[in-house]
Structure 1
Amino acid sequence: MIVAMDNFLLLGFFKHNGIYGNKELMSHDKRAIEWGRDLCQYYISISESVE
């Protein structure tokens, strides 16, 4: 999970078995927020539409 808002970044992670884990990373740093937005854009750019 990637949430990149104007004032924070939140990343959530899946465990190896595919179940959403209870570990999250949060930052208010502007560089981290920009990195999160770039990461999100990267995944959007390599994704395929499902219809």
Structure 2
Amino acid sequence: MNKRKFHQSNCKEETASAWLVSLLKFASEIEYFKALKGFYLSMIKKHYIIY
């Protein structure tokens, strides 16, 4: 399958399949990801000790 490029102004450019590009384009047009814009998940730090 041919590769296409899709990018948004706030994201770095990614290369994906033509099917995924069309799906991302459609999702951005209907503002599907707008609800996730304010979502923040903090990372957990783990410290491992080698015995």
TM more than 0.5: no
Q: Which range, TM-score by smaller chain?
A: 0.3 to 0.5
Q: Higher relative contact order by CA 8 Å / sep ≥ 6: 1 or 2? A: 1
From the two aligned structures, give the one with the greater strand fraction. 1
From the CA coordinates, give the structure whose radius of gyration is larger. Answer: 2
